[in-house]
Amino acid sequence: MPGQRTTRRPAAYLDIANDLGEGIRAGRLPAGRNLPSERQLAAAYGVNRQTVRSALQHLRAQGCVAGDRLGTYVLAERDGRTVRPSLSRAPAHGFPGSLLGTARAVDGRGRLLRRSPEPWAAAALELPVGRAALTYEHRLQDPDGRPLQDAACWFAPALVMLLPQLGRAAFALDESREEEDAGARLGDLYVWAAMAGLRLRAADTVHLARAAGTRTPPARLEVRRTVADQHGRPLVGTVFRISDEDVELRYADSQAILAGERPPRPTAGAYRIGEPDRAVLQSWASPNAPDRGLALRARIVLACERASATEAARRLGHSAELVAAWRDRYRAGGLLALESSPRGARPPH
């Protein structure tokens, strides 16, 4: 099916995201602390600020960092957001995804071409039947080259216009008029969508494929996936065909497509402050404390233990946004996140 892969240098924003991810993993950027400003990062890496923004959005999509009115800060593993040692994901776990058991050694290969969508995909994406559409074919195979999963993905024209990276790949394909090995570039398609402000959800249907005219047990599992944005607009139709016995299907009726999507914040009263931390916070919050900024942060954390950010803000006379920001900083990084000013961080070198 797909041809041989070619080696391409990762985009600059991925290099920056990888480097910052390594700094997070090594502890040079502790949980709750701000990353350097966009201006600092742009100067340190010798790139423009848009490239830095793309790197930060990639980290947000991976669940490594979050942003608030104080800046972009590091999230902690204990919040359920895993800090990965590397952000260069294996093809099996990027776009279009894998339905195989997770503990598998697999190799992914893909190619970009134009071909007519299958009838169900044409109907789901509202594409003309029989007309060629931008298509991505992807195969997962074991180290011996045995096929495990084949996928075919069709893209709605709206998605090609919304994602510059996909648009450039489509333009290059049309210019060359040849099938293009895009395996190294489309793996981050869902991350590109997050950068463009799209919140994608997937709906799957499962089919058992039989050879025509036979009564033998089905030899292949087929999963049809339709991906739509927050407005309900269908953007991607994918069919997965599984030839391996080790299949892992875990579904709800509709699921967020990007695993790094941030989980809901803890509800008021669900977060308990340990006694050692409580003693320190109470000392910082003393009316006679010399550091007024630190005293305010301590009062915010103490007030938010049993109240929502809105309620605590009303009681303290500050904005709910500021209260929520410092509450989340403490929950991500503990006392150290409060003690250090969020401004003036340096690149992790």
Which tens digits make up the pLDDT trace of 156-174? 999 999 888 888 888 888 8
Predicted pLDDT at 231: 85
Q: Is the pLDDT of residue 276 over 60?
A: yes
How distant, in Å, are the alpha carbons of 73, 122, 167, 206, 222 from that of 192? 21, 23, 12, 27, 27
For the chain, percent helix, then strand, then coil, each to nearest 5? Answer: 35, 20, 45
How sure is the predictor about 259, in pLDDT bands with cuts at 50, 70 and 90? very low
Lowest mean pLDDT among 5-14, 84-93, 197-206, 293-302: 84-93
- Give yes or no for a contact between 76 and 333, defined as CB atoms under 8 angstroms apart: yes
Q: Is the pLDDT of residue 3 over 60?
A: no
Q: What pLDDT, in 10s, does the model give residues 319-338? A: 888 888 888 888 888 888 88
How many C-beta atoms lie closer than 10 Å to residue 116's C-beta? 16
Please tell me whether residues 148 and 38 are part of one structural domain: no
Query: Helix axis angle, 38-45 relative to 12-25, nearest 10°?
Result: 110
Q: Is 181 exposed, middle or buried (0-12, 13-18, 19+ CB in 10 A)?
A: middle
Please tell me whether residues 216 and 233 are part of one structural domain: yes
Of 216, 232, 256, which marks where a domain is finished? Answer: 256
Of the candidates 126, 130, 125, which has an alpha carbon nearest to the alpha carbon of residue 237? 125
What percentage of the chain exceeds 70 in pLDDT? 74
Q: Is the pLDDT of residue 138 over 60?
A: yes
Predicted pLDDT at 179: 61
Q: Is the pLDDT of residue 97 over 90?
A: no
Bin 46: left if φ > 0, else alpha if -120 < ψ < 50, else beta: left
- Give yes or no for a contact between 326 and 297, defined as CB atoms under 8 angstroms apart: yes
Please tell me whether residues 219 and 297 are part of one structural domain: no
Q: Between residues 76 and 26, which one has the greater pLDDT?
A: 26
- Give yes or no for a contact between 335 and 280, defined as CB atoms under 8 angstroms apart: yes
Predicted pLDDT at 213: 55
Question: In the 8-state DSSP scheme, what is residue 127?
Answer: P
Query: Which range of residues forms the domain containing residue 270?
Result: 12-87+266-339
The CATH number for 273's domain is: 1.10.10.10
Please tell me whether residues 183 and 42 are part of one structural domain: no
Around 64, how many Cα atoms within 13 Å sit in the side-chain half-sphere? 24
- Give yes or no for a contact between 222 and 239, defined as CB atoms under 8 angstroms apart: yes
Lowest mean pLDDT among 34-43, 85-94, 251-260: 85-94
Dist CA 313 CA 324 (whole Å): 9
Dist CA 14 CA 195 (whole Å): 13
Bin 204: left if φ > 0, else alpha if -120 < ψ < 50, else beta: beta
How many C-beta atoms lie closer than 10 Å to residue 236's C-beta? 26
Predicted pLDDT at 2: 43
Please tell me whether residues 98 and 241 are part of one structural domain: yes
Please tell me whether residues 104 and 245 are part of one structural domain: yes
Token look-up 């499962």 returns 206
Of 224, 256, 288, which marks where a domain is finished? Answer: 256
Q: Is the pLDDT of residue 86 over 50?
A: no
Total domain count for the chain?
2
Backbone angles phi, psi at 10, to 5 degrees: -60, 155
Tokens of 56: 């930060």
pTM value is 0.56
Predicted pLDDT at 121: 94
Tokens of 268: 């008021």
Q: What is the mean pLDDT of residues 271-287?
A: 84
Please tell me whether residues 217 and 110 are part of one structural domain: yes
Q: Is the pLDDT of residue 21 over 50?
A: yes
Q: Is the pLDDT of residue 237 over 90?
A: yes
Please tell me whether residues 223 and 277 are part of one structural domain: no
How sure is the predictor about 4, in pLDDT bands with cuts at 50, 70 and 90? very low
183: in domain: yes
Please tell me whether residues 167 and 227 are part of one structural domain: yes
Q: Is the pLDDT of residue 116 over 50?
A: yes
Q: Is 57 exposed, middle or buried (0-12, 13-18, 19+ CB in 10 A)?
A: buried
